[in-house]
Chains A and B, each alone.
Chain A
Amino acid sequence: MSELVFDHVTVRFRHHTAVDDVSLVVRSGTTHGLVGESGSGKSTLARVAVGLERADLGTVRLDGVDLGRAARARRKVQMIFQDPFAALDPRMPVGASVAEGLLATDRKWSRADRATRVRELLDLVHIDPARASERPARFSGGQRQRLTIARALAAEPAVLVADEITSALDVSVQGVVLNLLRELQAELDLTMLFISHNLAVVRYVSDDVTVLRGGRVVEQGATDAVLADPADPYTRELLRSIPVLGRPLDLEA
């Protein structure tokens, strides 16, 4: 069991309310999609979950434990960042970066165990383990994103937060990363909060979906239900804006 609950979370930056009374539940073993445009507060919500930002009101709970108070439990929620070029230390061999994830397990790892585990993780994300000693500069964007996924998995997280992880990637590479996430989901029974501005991508990976606008939840529910029959005009506007192959874009206001 690993259930992540946002309970009436509000985050304010000075006079601006970035997240306004948001409640949502990431059910154990499922992927919850969080959709919204720039400024909708979706990234702020992610940063609150992992402790990079503090909630002014409300709580984030993992299996009932308030993450605002328990630093150790917070390590059970790990984040994959948007920009794979900034998320890896350029001067650290990628194997060492992945091994850094093992810090969060609170266990002592012998040198040999650590090396074995790093090899397993690299294998898991389809990166040749023989390349563990190379620097990030030798890897492409998609490969780097897979390395950051491996690092997050090394922490044995209860919940993964993926913040716009494919928006910096080519569409073809995006496919690979999405496939990997689905594969890992099936193998490891991951619980995941998947954040994106791309509705089609969210639809492809998520079981549930929450649509955010201006820091507020405008619509929430099972992905199929919400996207097949959106109740909120904003969700309909989002759906209408997605380019569809072979159909002229609807450019009218």
Chain B
Amino acid sequence: MLRTFRSPQGVAVLVGLLVVVLATALGPTFFGDAATTRDIANRQAPASLGHLFGTDPLGRDLLARTVVATRLSVLLTLGAVGISVGGGVVLGVIAAVLPRFLRRIVTAFIDILLSFPWLLLALFFSVIWGATSTGAMLAIGFAGIPVFARLVSTLASSVANTDYVHAARLLGSSPLRTATRHVLPNILPPMIVNTAAHASVTLLSFAALSFLGLGVQAPEYDWGRLLNEGSKQIYVEPMAAIGPGIAIVLTGVLFSLLGELLSESGPRRVRAARPAEVAEATTNDENAVVDVERLRISFRSDDGSLTERVHGVDLRIAPGEVVGIVGESGSGKSVTAMAVAGLLGPEALVESERLRFRGIDMRTRPSAAERRTLGLEQAMIFQDPLSSLNPALTVGRQLTEASEVHAGQKRGAATKRALEAMALVRIPEPLQRIRQLPHEFSGGMRQRAMIAMGLMGSPRLIIADEPTTALDVTVQRQVLRALADARERTGAAILLISHDIALVSGFCDRVVVMRDGAIVEQLAVGDLDKAEHPYTRGLIDCVPDMTTDRDRPLPVIGVAAAEEVPV
């Protein structure tokens, strides 16, 4: 927050706020006399050094009157914003925490109010409360309630559906208590931002109402009235209108900027990190699909320092080999795979002695031909298929895209191939399914569609990052079967990343155990029972299986062990 206000924009806003506050508090005290002293001889004087904005028909100084009018303009704005926000919060929160039936009624009421043009509401209310400054404040305040009520009820209903609000309800927390303790604090940040923006709109509304003669009445005056009076002589004495106009515009911009500033005060984006230079690769194992030596990956943190997350990993995958990486969250297993696929963004600094996929050096920017090879020969399957499939395109279109773009196939040939791929991963009724959108697929079916997508090229490596973690065990089996089929058909190597060592042991030829960014142990699957490293043993033992002794606690390892507080 502090950092935000130190930016040039922040300083400008702070200075502006200070000026407005001073004018509001002290304006009438210091300029009150100048604003009321009549000087008939000097009436309707044009702008001059003595009267920067000129004088009005009674010879009063317009600059002084503009400064004095700040108090009324700002206070009326704040009052109206207060009414809009207060009323909106009450109505919106009520709408969000009520039982379903009542909630519908309140929401419908808000919707009806919203369907009236705002100005119509404001005029309607100002007829009710009369053309006074308080009347205008009430009118504009009340006319703004529906907008805020809608905003608050939308924000609040997203909070009201969270588990912590459910939990509070189960514990017997009353709706009022839930609203004040859980809902309000969590919708406050966007509310503050919107309030600042709304203040700027309200200020303009007052100017408009007063300009129309409906707001502040003589002898009181705000900026809108001054603008109204000045506009009558705009051809003779332009500053009389422009002066108050400047005040309105500057204050309006000030409120908007404040809102923008408050909405920006999140964490800054990390700056890109690039390797300093690329050393020439030493030896070269042309046979390996993946050849990685001393891979180190660092990420830039918020304060700009680099944190190394992967510390010198060696990994070699032979053609057709099925390798599993096992580890806890934060062990660096996913990041390692992403580096192998060349998918890490600019926030990551990737350094290595060697980082090759089928002879392509992944440390440099790939050429067009290399990019084509990568597109055809690498397939990636992520944990959440819904976020890696485009929700707006049919599955068929997404399948054919790869072979059309990278292999230059015709649409018809690509579709035929897509159907074959879908049949191979055992998606039932591919002819119908190919025309469906991703959300019409179940989770397991989406993962199989992702595998089918990989099959559209000529994959040499399929990287599957926790592909079955979100799925049921029987569905997990179907997805793994699709992976196994894909490998059998294409001879591609597979890199399977998982936290479940039992799963990896049942599917892979070789297991790589990672912990805290380093490889702890590498074993052929058959040798797992001979694992020597205590961490590997712990990973095996901490997962209950169908033979685990139920009378003994599970062993505790790794991160979990460090967090345990001894009793």
Q: Measuring CB to CB, which residues of chain A are less than 8 angstroms from any residue of chain B?
A: 37-38, 50-52, 74-75, 78-79, 81, 83, 86-92, 97, 100-101, 103-104, 106, 123, 126-128, 140-143, 148, 151-152, 155, 170-176, 178-179, 182-183, 197-201, 203-204, 227, 237-239, 241-251, 253
Contacts and interface: CB of A to CB of B under 8 A. Distances in A.
Interface string B496-509: 00011111011100
Chain B interface: which size bin? 35 or more
A78 B166 CA distance: 11
B99 interface: no
Contact of A171 (B162, B186, B543): B543
Contacts of A127: 565
Given A103-B173, A152-B167, 18 more contacts: A38-B443, A75-B171, A78-B171, A79-B166, A126-B564, A142-B563, A170-B329, A171-B328, A172-B559, A173-B559, A174-B542, A175-B543, A176-B556, A176-B563, A244-B545, A245-B506, A248-B507, A249-B506
11 contacts: A75-B172, A97-B164, A100-B168, A100-B171, A103-B172, A171-B542, A176-B563, A197-B472, A241-B476, A245-B502, A246-B506
Interface string B170-200: 1111000000011001100000000000000
Given A52-B166, A246-B528, A251-B481, A175 B473 contact: no
B305 interface: no
A204 B550 contact: yes
B204 to A, nearest CB: 33
Nearest to A37: B472
- Shortest 4 CB-CB contacts between residues of A and residues of B: A37-B472, A249-B506, A175-B554, A241-B473
Given A178-B554, A204-B544, A242-B546, A51 B560 contact: no
A92 to B, nearest CB: 7
A91 B162 CA distance: 13
A247 B499 CA distance: 17
Contacts of B167: 79, 81, 87, 100, 148, 151-152
A174 B558 CA distance: 12
Contacts of B564: 126, 176
B379 interface: no
A86 B564 CA distance: 22
A104 B171 contact: yes
Contact of A172 (B166, B169, B173, B538): B538
B505 A246 contact: yes
B554 A198 contact: no
A172 B539 CA distance: 7
A101 B172 CA distance: 9
A106 B172 CA distance: 9
A178 B544 contact: yes
Contacts of A91: 185-186
A75 B525 CA distance: 49
Contacts of A52: 166, 169-170
Interface in B498-546: 499-503, 505-507, 525-526, 528-529, 538-540, 542-546
Contacts of A152: 167
B26 interface: no
A48 to B, nearest CB: 13
Contacts of A101: 171
Contacts of A81: 163, 166-167
Scoring B473, B480, B528, B559 by chain A CB atoms within 10 A of each residue's CB, the highest score goes to B473
Contacts of A97: 164
Contacts of B185: 89, 91-92
B273 interface: no
Interface of B: 162-164, 166-173, 181-182, 185-186, 328-329, 443, 472-477, 480-481, 484, 499-503, 505-507, 525-526, 528-529, 538-540, 542-546, 548, 550, 553-561, 563-565, 567
A248 B506 contact: yes
A87 B472 contact: no
B545 A200 contact: yes
A38 B472 contact: yes
Contacts of A90: 186
A250 B526 CA distance: 16
A44 to B, nearest CB: 14
A250 B477 CA distance: 8
Contacts of A251: 477, 480-481, 484
Given A75-B171, A178-B554, A251-B481, A242 B560 contact: no
B163 A245 contact: no
Contacts of A248: 506-507
A243 B567 CA distance: 34
Contacts of A106: 172
A245 B554 contact: no
Contacts of A104: 170-172
Given A201-B544, A245-B505, A175 B565 contact: no
